[in-house]
Amino acid sequence: MGIYLNPENDEYKRAINSEIYVDKTELIAVTNRKLNTEHQNICVSRPRRFGKSMAANMLVAYYCKNVDSRDIFSGFKIANDETFEKHLNKYNVIHINMIDFLSRADSVDDLIDYLQRRLLWDIKKEYSDVDCFDWNDLVDVLETVYSEKKLPFVIIIDEWDCIFRKYPDNVEEQKKYLDFLRFFLKGKSYVALAYMTGILPIKKYGEHSALNMFDEYSMTNQRELAEFTGFTEEVKNLCVQYDMPYEKMKQWYDGYELKGVQIYNPRSVVMLLLGHDFDSYWTKTETYEALKKYIQLDMYNLKALVTRLIAGESVPVNPDKFQNDMTTLESADDVLTLLVHLGYLTYDFYNQRVTIPNQEVQKELQEWYLCQEEMLISQQL
């Protein structure tokens, strides 16, 4: 077993050993149907604290060939699915949290170099019997290992978009990174499934995505993954178990509308149930802080739009022109769409409108808005 190739299933064990764990294992049935198909490349974007890493760790535990996870999953929903035994612990798994590599690099070139060397180290330990033409070429090594062993790879990348937060204005660095991912994943026979998670959907340049082989599931359209995006109606049973009022729970933490599926913020629900206090548990991100200037300067008439949202209204939005980054914000639609991806607004797919999802987020926005108004008044005095 390695650190990045065929790791242990300890991270997922930690999740299910927690006092509150909600069974989302039916996501595995969805990914099983996509293995070795035209839809094997999946990019899931969600706000922070919506269970992205837990889902990634679950897939690692299920697919990884060097562990036996049957007992772990036997009591969960996936065990009743017809595909459960067929794919359980049958694949080479590469699991990458991109932040681990970003923290060790001063540039994208450094990140790519270290990532390749680190993966090659694990692969060589596992497959030292394979005669590779060039042990320094990651793609060549993976192709050779697959050719000889006939065991495909499931590649899971968490925090895939951290590059775009570290280098928000550096298009050259961004393109180097996307070029690497495309060469690593696109059209490779050794890939049975590629599953990426992040806050942002895949970066677009103009109308085009550099990773156009991926099916995307974002907060503007989670499609068939909607029920796995956060907590859903299982919250009713949790409220009974922890003796908390369900209607108040809905008012505070429900409200993310994903094509008819109502989603709760998972972290906030867990913190409430463990502490029995209704409060805002979802801290602002650094990205939200950066967006303040657009509202403070009233760019694109955003101040009036935010006022309407705080008052409980919905606002029309076209998310299609959003370039999926933190800086290319050229309209009110772009700013509001980014707030959807960050979890501060929810998007009604059918009516193409945004609203504030719940009392937790509304409280945060109200406090910020009042603070800005007080600052403006003091500046005028």
Per-residue pLDDT of the chain (381 residues; tens, 9 = 90+): 679 999 999 999 999 999 999 999 999 999 999 999 999 999 999 998 899 999 999 999 999 999 999 999 999 999 999 999 999 999 999 999 999 999 999 999 999 999 999 999 999 999 999 999 999 999 999 999 999 999 999 999 999 999 998 898 899 999 999 999 999 999 999 999 999 999 999 988 865 578 999 999 999 999 999 999 999 999 999 999 999 999 999 999 999 989 889 999 999 999 999 999 998 887 655 555 656 667 766 788 888 898 899 999 999 999 999 998 888 889 999 999 999 999 999 999 999 999 999 999 898 888 777 766 666 566 665
Q: Is the dihedral of CA 251, 298, 201, 217 positive or negative?
A: positive
Q: What is the pLDDT of residue 378?
A: 64
In the DSSP assignment, the letter for residue 285 is P
Q: What is the pLDDT of residue 283?
A: 64
Instruction: Determine the 3-state secondary structure of 89 from DSSP.
Output: coil
Yes or no: say if 324 and 342 are a contact pair by the CB < 8 Å rule.
no
d(CA 226, CA 266): 14
Strands 41-45 and 215-217: parallel
Q: What is the pLDDT of residue 280?
A: 86
Q: What is the pLDDT of residue 144?
A: 97
Q: Where are any strands of DSSP class E within 135-178?
A: 153-158
d(CA 1, CA 92): 10
Which residue, 178, 186, 136, is CA-closest to 161?
Answer: 178
246-253 vs 359-380: helix crossing angle, rounded to 10: 50
From residue 71, alpha-carbon distances to 25, 79, 288, 343 in Å are 14, 10, 42, 35
Amino acid at 113: D
Which residue, 16, 172, 31, 195, is CA-closest to 109?
Answer: 172
Q: What is the pLDDT of residue 222?
A: 94
Which residue, 317, 311, 319, 338, is CA-closest to 327?
Answer: 338
Which phi and psi angles does 151 have, rounded to 5°?
-120, 110
Yes or no: say if 232 and 261 are a contact pair by the CB < 8 Å rule.
yes
